């Protein structure tokens, strides 16, 4: 999911990779466009993005929003619903509105 979260353009200057392929080559600098797994802020950025998405879409997709706000711990979700098909449909729609896609459902 990390690579589905785009870093704000004004913040990309803080997310860089330095690459030097050979000793005689110059260092190349790359600015990251998405959150990268393993960076110190990755878990926070993922959690905060999901929380904001749930708050933004609460009126349109209340079931999925409630799950994202109340049933997540770090990057794990433990939840349930009386109508599983409706729950999965809303969760997919909510994440699509944030530009993210699910791969396990």
> DSSP secondary-structure letter at 20?
-
pLDDT band at 2 (very low <50, low <70, confident <90, very high): low
Cβ atoms within 10 A of the Cβ of 85, count? Answer: 8
Indicate whether 105 pLDDT > 60: no
Burial (CB < 10 A; 0-12, 13-18, 19+), residue 59, is exposed
Is pTM beyond 0.85? Reply is: no
In this predicted model, what pLDDT tens digit does every residue of 48-102 receive, in sequence order? 888 999 999 999 888 888 888 888 777 677 787 788 888 788 878 888 888 887 7
**Tokens 């706000």 — which residue?**
69
Residues whose CB falls within 8 Å of the CB of residue 3, separated by 6 or more in sequence, listed in order? 34, 35, 36, 37
Cα separation, 88 vs 81, whole angstroms = 9
N-term to C-term CA, the chain: 14
- Domain edges within the chain: 2-31, 41-98
């Amino acid at each position: 999911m990390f690579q589905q979260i785009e870093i704000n353009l004004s913040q990309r200057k803080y997310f860089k990779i330095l690459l030097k392929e050979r000793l005689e080559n110059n260092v190349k600098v790359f600015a990251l466009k998405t959150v990268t797994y393993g960076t110190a802020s990755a878990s926070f950025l993922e959690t905060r993005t999901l929380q904001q998405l749930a708050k933004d879409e609460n009126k349109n997709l209340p079931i999925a929003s409630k799950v994202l706000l109340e049933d997540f711990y770090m990057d794990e979700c433990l939840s349930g619903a009386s109508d599983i098909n409706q729950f999965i449909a809303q969760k997919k729609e909510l994440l699509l509105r944030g530009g993210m896609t699910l791969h396990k459902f």
